[in-house]
Amino acid sequence: MTVASATTLECRNLRVRAGDKVILEDVSFGIRSGESLMVIGPNGSGKTTLLHALLALVSAAAGDILWNGRPVQSLTRRELARLAAFMPQLPETPTGFTVFEYVLTARYARRGSWGRYTAEDHKKTEAALELTAMTAFRDRPVSTLSGGERQKTQLAAAVAQETPFLLLDEPAAFLDYHHQVEIMALVERLRQERNLSVVMVTHDLNIPFLDGARVLALKNGRTLFYGMVTDLPSQLSMLEQLYDTPFRLIHTSDSEGWFIHPVFTGPGGSSP
């Protein structure tokens, strides 16, 4: 199920406004299928708005968003839904739908003639549930699931949508460590097996995979840094400026790995 032709996503000098307020200003990046992007920055820096703009959920005041070279505003919803699946931070809760029925709706843009879901759509939905280990929850109403199970249902839907791009807005927020690891491992597996491009808004600077991923740091809607994730260890002062919090680099014992950790400064003095 790899995507045949290379797909590209390019964002050029994007500006998004909400009324008079500028939410994003002069944001640019470009990735092709298989490449990934981490979007970091403090709360309110425009990260979610960036994802929304890429999906034409908000319109740009200036600049271009190009999917395969085509401006996003010229794509139909259906075309866009075949390019990118979206996992919002706070998904709308489907009332009444079972997990299977909900994941099946992700096949909307690929369903057969007469608008019906075909046997293939059902097969792909089952496969997505299998992959995310949600088969056991197949007939449970989504509204009865725990936070982690719901997030996996969202991911199953994104898988069933069969897109070369996966746009994730803090997929592991609110989850316990087990589900955080599970979700992230799944995302990484998808990325490798299906050559997916992942665009992920995150507050986790230490995601141990996303090889060769780029990182875009936003502050007050402007680009503070755009480079490779592997550059981050040398960017501690940038990170301090980004979050108004000092960071330090911790090397792991095998000397390959590293962690970036905020320095706890507070009434009790410096770091623990």
- The edge-to-edge listing of strands for the beta sheet with 197-201 is 84-87, 165-169, 197-201, 37-40, 214-219, 222-228
- Nearest CB to other proteins, comparing residues 96 and 266: 96
Nearest approach, Cβ of residue 153 and other proteins (Å): 12
Residue type, 238: M
- Nearest CB to other proteins, comparing residues 52 and 194: 52
- Nearest CB to other proteins, comparing residues 81 and 129: 81
- Nearest CB to other proteins, comparing residues 39 and 81: 81
| Token output for 193 | 């097996």
Nearest approach, Cβ of residue 116 and other proteins (Å): 7
- Region of residue 186 (phi > 0: left; psi between -120 and 50: alpha; otherwise: beta): alpha
- Name residues whose C-beta falls within 8 Å of residue 263's C-beta, 6 or more positions apart in sequence: 245, 246, 247, 248, 270, 271
Nearest approach, Cβ of residue 196 and other proteins (Å): 16
Q: Which residues bind other proteins (CB under 8 A)?
A: 55, 57, 76-78, 80-82, 84-86, 88, 91-98, 101-102, 105-106, 108-109, 111, 114-117, 141, 143-144, 147, 161
Nearest approach, Cβ of residue 133 and other proteins (Å): 22
- CB-based contact 258:252 (threshold 8 Å): yes
